[in-house]
Amino acid sequence: MAKLAALLAALILVANAAAALRTTTEDCSRQIQWRDLSDCMRYLREQLLNEEAYNKLDNRPEDYLDQCCGQLRMMSEWCRCDGLKSEINRQRQQGQLWGQDVSRIMQAADSLPGMCRNTEGPSRCDFGSSWF
């Protein structure tokens, strides 16, 4: 009887964890859809691609980093990497990034959460080399 109770408790725990994961995934999808990470992309493009056209407001790259960190803080800590990944992929699909630029931006975006000194969630994103 004790084994049956333990098995039942384990099944309930697994079911609750699966429901929480599904809710988190749905929540991240909504957050990504409605959050703006344009300053993160401006920062990455300024730093890596030296695109001065993105610097129309005479902001320094550090200004974009501060604004990017603010944008990331508006997202749940577990959705930030997915948000960055989604934004990079969106720009790639729209033809704003391609080839080596995608790889360079993706590598730099890995460390953005840590650069922002966010105290919660991962400090690095693990995009790998073939996430899109």
Give the CATH number, domain containing residue 110.
1.10.110.10
> Is residue 122 one of the residues assigned to a domain?
no
Q: Residue 8 above 60 pLDDT? A: no
> Is residue 121 one of the residues assigned to a domain?
no
pTM, two decimals, is 0.69
> Is residue 124 one of the residues assigned to a domain?
no
Continuous H helices in the chain? 2-34, 38-49, 61-73, 80-93, 99-109, 112-115
> Is residue 91 one of the residues assigned to a domain?
yes
User: For the segment 79-107, what is each residue's pLDDT rounded down to a tens digit?
Assistant: 889 899 999 988 889 988 888 888 888 88
Distances in Å between the Cα of 11 and the Cα atoms of 3, 8, 62, 125 are 12, 5, 49, 31
- Determine the structural domain holding residue 50 and report its residue range: 2-115
> What is the domain count for the chain?
1
pLDDT score of 59: 63
